[in-house]
Amino acid sequence: MRKLSSLLLLLALGLRFQTTFGQITNSPYVEERYTRSIRILRVELTDRYTIIDMQYGDPALYQKFRMPELLGSGDLISFDPKSRLYKPGNTSKRFMFVKVEGIPESPGSMRVRSDELIDFRVYFERLDPGIEVFDLFEGPNPDETQYWNFYGIHIKNPPIKKPEPRPATPKPAEKPKPEVKPKVQEPVITEAPVQKKQPDKSTTPALVGLSGTIYDAKTREPIPASLTYLDGDDSVRMNLSSGEYRLGLNSKQNYSIVAGAKGYLSTSLDVSPADSSGATTLEHDFYLQPLAKGASVTLDKIYFATSKFELLPESFGELDELVTMLRENPSLKIRVEGHTDNLGDFDKNVELSRQRAEAVRDYLTKKGIVSDRIETQGYGPTRPVGKGNSESERRKNRRVEFVITEI
């Protein structure tokens, strides 16, 4: 009995080791994170949970600047229970937050001194086997809160191998049955078959696929790039090493998809899958212009209150794209230029165009861009791009542009 019990115990331990082997990833590779103050130390997958060990603080600064006079008052930190995990490009399947240990859940918070390193652990629902790259989305990034978003976390999570089917046992050969001559029957008259109702091809599918490639506009070669867009409340970012992408879009939602790459001007695409006339797949290639001194870009989605320089909220999306480009290219400097049409007083138009350019600069600096990198200039109606007097031509002239002054 003892030998049998020991054998059973070893077998059980072996099976357990087999189910958990490869489910722990120390210091996982992360493609992108929103803030440098937080890092992922370890990811463990159990039968029920995805457990993420994290650390708040900067070890390098912690070691280098330990003098009390260099330490600030610290930060308030917490973890948002609305956070979730998902496979990049597929936000329809979410793995929800369970609990956090070591720091409070929002709206609670704790203050951390500048000389502290805080370790904590977050539990989520268990990722499906086979998902070996995932994103952690804690929340959008308004000015008041800096959320801890991670994109492209690489872990060990192999798919479950399905057992190979056993070969079917051949059936014994049946003995031939004696031939029976069919009886002659009178023909039976039946009703005409009812045709099945064909599905309406105009019905929009639940998901619409969008695919394509991101190219260098000059060389026409694919380049490593990224796509960002909002999927419901989720801010999705996909890093594409080959430049090729494939998305599944909700047909009931409109999207603004931004393609960007380091050293290139970003560009965007507005997609309304409901307008695809029932198509289940769409294609679009992006062509990015390399950054070059003197290059001029019109910001098409910048809106102001009529005859004022107050930025409307509809402008924030495109301005945030400009913020991202400036962050990814820290040596880049620009000049923001304001333009108006030729209606009204000339001097007032010049002043309004200057104020609008400064409003754009102020938005960028509030997002952390150093003001020394941004010049402003108001040209009023002196540089029209539309020469006619129609409203459509005047609308072209009411614009904001930026010019690259230094790379």
Name the pLDDT band for 249 (thresholds 50, 70, 90). Answer: confident
Q: What percent of the chain has pLDDT over 90?
A: 39
| CA separation for the pair 86, 107 (Å, rounded) | 23
Residue 369 tokens read as 């861009």
What is the average per-residue pLDDT within 254-278? 84
Range 357-367 average pLDDT: 95
Residue 185 predicted with pLDDT over 70: no
- For the ranges 48-62, 113-127, 246-260, the one whose mean pLDDT is highest: 113-127
pLDDT digits (tens, 9 = 90+) for 210-245: 889 999 999 999 999 988 888 777 778 888 888 999
Percent of the chain with pLDDT over 70: 78
Q: Residues 81-130: pLDDT tens digits?
A: 989 998 876 666 889 999 999 999 999 999 998 888 999 999 999 999 99
pLDDT value of position 18:
41
Q: How confident is the model at residue 62 (pLDDT cuts 50, 70, 90)?
A: very low
**Residue 264: DSSP 8-state:** B
The whole-number average pLDDT for the span 35-53 is 92
Segment of 43-47, 201-205, 318-322 carrying the highest mean pLDDT? 43-47
Q: What is the mean pLDDT of residues 22-43?
A: 86
Q: What is the pLDDT of residue 181?
A: 58
H, E, C per residue of the chain? CHHHHHHHHHHHHHHHHHHHCCCEEECCCEEEECCCCEEEEEEEECCCEEEEEEEECCHHHHHHCCCHHHCCCCEEECECCCCEEEECCEEEEEEEEEEEECCCECCCCEEECCCCCEEEEEEEECCCCCCCEEEEECCCCCCCCCCCCEEEEECCCCCCCCCCCCCCCCCCCCCCCCCCCCCCCCCCCCCCCCCCCCCCCCCCCCEEEEEEEEEECCCCCECCEEEEEEECCEEEEEEECCCEEEEEEECCCCEEEEEECCCECCEEEEECHHHCCCCCEEECCEEECECCCCCEEEECCCCECCCCCCECHHHHHHHHHHHHHHHHCCCCEEEEEEECCCCCCHHHHHHHHHHHHHHHHHHHHHCCCCHHHEEEEECCCCCCCCCCCCHHHHHHHCEEEEEEEEC
Please check the confidence at residue 6 and state whether its pLDDT lies above 60.
Answer: no
Return the top range by mean pLDDT from 26-40, 282-296, 352-366: 352-366
pLDDT of 198 > 80? The answer is no
Which pTM value belongs to this model? 0.56
Q: Give the lowest-confidence range in 187-191, 316-320, 352-356.
A: 187-191
**102 vs 277, higher pLDDT:** 102
pLDDT band at residue 384 using 50, 70 and 90 as cut-offs: confident
Average pLDDT, the chain: 81
- Using CA of residue 295, residue 262, residue 321, residue 359, what is the dihedral sign? negative
CB atoms within 10 A of CB 280: 13
Give pLDDT, residue 195.
Answer: 47
* Predicted pLDDT at 89: 64
pLDDT at 311 over 70: yes
Measure the CA–CA gap between 361 and 81, rounded to whole angstroms.
35
Dihedral sign (CA 140, 146, 147, 148): positive
**Residue type at 23 in one-letter notation:** Q
pLDDT of residue 14: 45
CA 402 vs. chain centroid, Å, equals 26
Closest to 321 (Cα-Cα) out of 238, 247, 227: 227
pLDDT of 229: 85
Query: 210, 215, 235, 239: which is closest to 227 by C-alpha?
Result: 239
Structure tokens belonging to residue 6: 């020991």
What domains can be seen in the chain, in order of their start residue?
Answer: 19-154 (2.60.40), 204-290 (2.60.40.10), 292-407 (3.30.1330.60)
What DSSP string runs through 357-388? Answer: HHHHHHHHHHTT--GGGEEEEE-TTSS-S--S
Range 288-317 average pLDDT: 89
Reply yes or no on whether the pLDDT at 358 is more than 90: yes
